[in-house]
Structures are given as structure tokens and as C-alpha cells.
């Protein structure tokens, strides 16, 4: 909202959090998606390749900004420094979504932070890896931004009854990280690496890390993230997530169709990691099954037919999900977490997308965004655009 107005173009990856597309609904900006490369085995979308971002900039010289995930939920980082240089050379702002990147500002030997890379703004969720209370985050501005203008924008969207509990938790956490951040995140990275090595010894799982780096679509990797591919055991990530919670009293961050993510924090101990590894070994031994017929894709590139705002406010009708293929979606459909839309308003519904939504629903993913809580019907645009 600080850099885009109605009709402005913004270049962004399609695997953004729903809040970024919500912002497009609010301000009326037009998304220009850089569809990231997908790791076919893991079923996850990777980072934005510089060549693809440059192509989008060349084809849309009137774009006003570029948004970059730094890192993605799974720990994958794009070449943010180069993207910033190329965007600034064209007069475009760069926004870094650092919901999962608080520790990049305080750790050693971690991917570059948004501010260090020269981004104009960075949204940093201190409550995820920084230790502050849930809902508390920081918005960092570079000198290129008008802070007073940004404050005006913030006043459009935030409560006028600020929580001093949240504000004080931000300050306490910031102080703690400034004084002890390096040693804390060195410990977290060490525990994550130990977990990766132990989990990869079990068989059936693949805990990935720096081995994914290829210099383009995976420019760097956040080693504090413990992302684990589970389909080798014939189990969807969400099934392993449920088993860990229900049978072992272990609450991890999320499970999707192919992967789980365990968020190791400054509050974890080595015995917590040992318990997780032991539980995963147990699950592999007790619940492993044939993986025939399981879906492996987390990301399906959408065809954008209308802007999110145009579609969100258009006249709609409700159809059974199975009959929605060939129509334009008027609402969001997503598994939450991670909150990356499978469908967003203004995108064409395909048979592949319908099958993916029904598969994710039936596997037990927590589905959000639709008017129908049972995920049996979809709001689509009446007629066309």
C-alpha cells in the first residue's frame, strides 16, 4: 500500500503469502507473477531467478515495485542483492517479505537480510524466529522511503488501540537478539544440521538444506529451517504432522502435501530434537505405506485473467467444486499454513487445480479462504470479465 496504487503493476512470485495478495485486493494493484521453478521431487516452488525477474522488468517497464520472499517458508532464498540492483536501476522499489527472516539480521553465515541487500522495505515477523509475542512484527524502511507517508498508510490498516504487551515484547526480543542473537542462532543452526543428518539416516525422509543450492532458483538456503520431504514413506506431510501431534505430543510448524517443517527456535533444546528424530523414526517403522497414486506438486502455475481486486468485488455465483473448472475464481483457496494460495481471485480454475484442492482437503490440510467451510463449493465470477 505504500508503493502501489490502483492500476500500478508489481512484480512478485506467485508463492507469496495470502497477505500480499490481500494487499492487491485492497489497493487495486496488478500482479505480474514470476512463476518460480518447481523442484519436481519435493513439490515446492523455489526462489525467483534473476533472469526471470529481469525478463518481467523488461516486459513491464511501468512496474513500480518488486516483492521478494526472503526466505520462503521452506528456507529458500533468491539472489536478493542482484534483484535490488536491477530493480533500482529501473526506478522500481524492492519489498522483502521477511516473515521468516528475523534471524538473518542477527545470525552469522546466514543468507543476506533485506536491509543489508538494499531493499526499500522489509516486513519482519519477530514473533516467528525472534521470540516476541504472536502478532508482533517490525516494518523496516531504508532511506529511500518516506517514513511519515508509510505511517499514514499504517494508520489505514492498523488498530487505533495499540497493544503495549506486543510493543514491549518486540523491544525485549530485539534487545535479547542484539545482545545474544549470534550465539542463539548459531545454536539453532547447529541443532537443525544435527537433525538433518539424523533424519536422513532413518530412510524414507529427505531433510534438505545447502545441497539444494544451484546459484539461480536456489541462490542460498536458511539452514535454521528443518524442512523434511515425507513422501518416501508413502505419507503426505500433513499425515506426518497429524501423527506427531496426536501420537507423540509434538507440535511442528506445518505439513503440506509432500513436506513437513519443524521450526527450531532459540527456545529449543537438544533433547527436543532427539525426541522429534525418535518420533519420525517410529512413524517410518509403524506407518510407512506404498506411495503409489500420491500427488507430489505443491505449486500449480495459475493463469491470471483479472486483477485480485476486480475479481474479489465482482458478481459471483457458487458452484460445486467439481464443476468449477473453466471458470474464474472469485475467492482464495489455500492450505494454512503455509498460507500460499492454490487459487486467488481472478485466476482461472483448471481441472488440475480442482483435483489438487480436493486431494489436499481429503488428506486433512486446514483449508482457508473460501466462503464454504466444507470446501465443497467455490465462488466463481458470473459470466466473464
| pLDDT at 282 (0 to 100) | 98
With cell 487505533, the residue in question is 160
160 & 186 share domain? no
Mean pLDDT of 205-216: 96
36 & 139 share domain? yes
Across the beta sheet with 121-124, the strand order is 30-34, 9-13, 65-69, 93-98, 121-124, 138-141
SS3 63: coil
CA max distance for the chain: 59
Helix 270-287 and helix 237-248, axial crossing angle in degrees, nearest 10:
110
- Distant-in-sequence, close-in-space partners of 197: CB < 8 Å, separation ≥ 6: none
* Domain housing 139: 9-164
Helix 80-89 and helix 50-59, axial crossing angle in degrees, nearest 10:
20
How many domains are contained in the chain? 3
Q: Is the pLDDT of residue 300 over 80?
A: no
Confidence category of residue 28, pLDDT binned at 50, 70, 90 = very high
Q: What φ, ψ does residue 192 adopt, rounded to 5°?
A: -65, -40
In the chain, % of residues over pLDDT 90: 83
Answer yes or no: is 292 within a domain.
Answer: no
Q: Is the pLDDT of residue 292 over 90?
A: no
Answer yes or no: is 173 within a domain.
Answer: no
Mean pLDDT of 69-76: 94
Which is more confidently placed, 82 or 339? 82
250 & 331 share domain? no
Confidence category of residue 295, pLDDT binned at 50, 70, 90 = low
For β-strands 65-69 and 9-13, DSSP reports them as: parallel
* 382 CB neighbour count, 10 Å cutoff: 11
82 & 155 share domain? yes
Q: Is the pLDDT of residue 381 over 70?
A: yes
Structural domain ending residue among the three candidates 115, 132, 164:
164
Confidence category of residue 298, pLDDT binned at 50, 70, 90 = low
Mean pLDDT of 97-120: 96
Which is more confidently placed, 300 or 3? 3
Look up the CATH number of the domain holding residue 222.
3.90.1150.170
| pLDDT at 296 (0 to 100) | 63
145 & 18 share domain? yes
Give one DSSP letter per residue of 284-336, joined into a string: HHHH----TT----S--PPPB-S-HHHHHTS-EEEEEGGG-TTSBB-S-EEET
94 & 130 share domain? yes
| pLDDT at 339 (0 to 100) | 79
C-alpha to C-alpha distance for 71 and 112, rounded to whole angstroms:
10
Structural domain ending residue among the three candidates 222, 254, 287:
287
User: Of 14-23, 68-77, 321-330, which gets the smallest average pLDDT?
Assistant: 14-23
| pLDDT at 297 (0 to 100) | 62
Q: Which residues of 300-317 are buried (b: 16+ CB within 10 A; e: fewer)?
A: bebebbbbbbbbbebebe
In the chain, % of residues over pLDDT 70: 98
| pLDDT at 291 (0 to 100) | 76
The pLDDT tens digits for 159-204 are 889 999 999 999 999 999 999 999 999 999 999 999 999 999 999 9
SS3 367: strand
CB 381 within 8 A of CB 324: no
The pLDDT tens digits for 224-275 are 999 999 999 999 999 999 999 999 999 999 998 889 999 998 889 999 999 9
Answer yes or no: is 349 within a domain.
Answer: yes
Structural domain ending residue among the three candidates 138, 164, 190:
164
Mean pLDDT of 78-105: 97
C-alpha to C-alpha distance for 105 and 71, rounded to whole angstroms:
12
Q: Is the pLDDT of residue 385 over 70?
A: no
* SS3 per residue for 170-228: HHHHHHHHHHHHHHHHHHHHHHHHHHHHHHHHHCCCEEECHHHCCCCCCCEECCCEEEE
Amino acid at each position: 500500500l505504500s508503493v502501489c496504487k490502483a492500476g500500478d503493476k508489481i512484480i512478485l512470485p506467485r508463492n507469496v503469502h495470502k497477505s500480499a495478495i490481500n494487499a492487491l485486493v485492497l489497493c487495486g494493484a496488478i500482479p505480474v507473477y514470476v512463476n518460480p521453478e518447481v523442484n519436481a521431487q519435493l513439490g515446492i516452488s523455489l526462489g525467483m531467478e534473476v533472469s526471470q525477474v529481469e525478463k518481467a522488468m523488461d516486459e513491464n517497464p511501468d512496474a513500480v515495485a518488486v516483492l521478494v520472499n526472503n526466505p520462503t517458508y521452506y528456507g529458500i532464498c533468491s539472489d536478493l542483492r542482484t534483484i535490488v540492483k536491477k530493480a533500482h536501476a529501473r526506478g522500481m522499489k524492492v519489498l522483502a517479505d521477511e516473515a521468516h527472516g528475523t534471524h538473518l539480521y542477527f545470525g552469522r553465515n546466514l543468507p543476506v537480510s533485506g536491509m543489508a541487500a538494499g531493499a526499500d522495505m522489509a516486513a519482519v515477523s519477530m514473533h516467528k524466529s525472534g521470540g516476541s509475542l504472536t502478532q508482533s512484527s517490525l516494518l523496516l524502511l531504508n532511506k529511500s522511503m518516506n517514513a511519515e507517508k508509510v505511517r499514514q498508510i499504517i494508520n489505514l490498516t492498523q488498530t487505533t488501540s495499540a497493544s503495549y504487551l506486543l510493543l514491549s515484547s518486540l523491544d525485549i526480543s530485539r534487545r535479547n537478539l542484539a545482545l545474544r542473537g549470534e550465539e542463539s542462532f548459531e545454536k539453532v543452526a547447529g541443532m537443525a544440521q544435527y537433525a538433518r543428518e539424523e533424519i536422513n539416516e532413518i530412510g524414507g525422509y529427505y531433510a534438505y538444506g545447502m545441497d539444494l543450492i544451484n546459484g539461480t532458483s536456489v541462490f542460498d538456503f536458511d539452514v535454521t529451517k528443518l524442512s523434511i520431504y515425507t513422501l518416501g514413506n508413502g505419507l503426505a506431510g500433513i499425515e506426518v504432522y497429524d501423527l506427531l501431534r496426536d501420537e507423540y505430543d509434538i507440535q511442528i510448524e506445518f505439513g503440506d502435501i509432500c513436506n513437513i517443517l519443524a521450526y527450531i527456535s532459540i527456545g529449543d533444546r537438544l533433547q527436543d530434537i532427539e525426541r522429534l528424530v525418535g518420533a519420525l523414526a517410529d512413524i517410518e517403522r509403524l506407518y510407512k505405506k506404498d506411495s503409489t497414486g500420491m500427488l507430489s506438486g505443491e505449486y500449480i502455475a495459475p493463469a491470471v485473467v483479472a486483477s485480485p481486486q476486480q475479481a474479489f468485488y465482482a458478481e459471483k455465483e457458487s458452484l460445486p467444486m467439481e464443476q468449477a473448472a473453466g471458470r474464474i475464481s472469485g475467492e482464495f483457496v489455500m492450505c494454512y499454513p503455509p498460507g500460499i494460495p492454490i487459487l486467488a481471485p481472478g485466476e482461472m480454475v483448471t481441472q488440475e487445480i480442482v483435483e489438487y484442492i480436493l486431494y489436499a482437503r481429503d488428506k486433512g490440510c486446514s483449508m482457508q479462504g473460501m466462503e464454504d467451510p466444507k470446501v465443497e463449493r467455490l465462488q466463481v465470477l458470473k459470466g466473464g470479465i
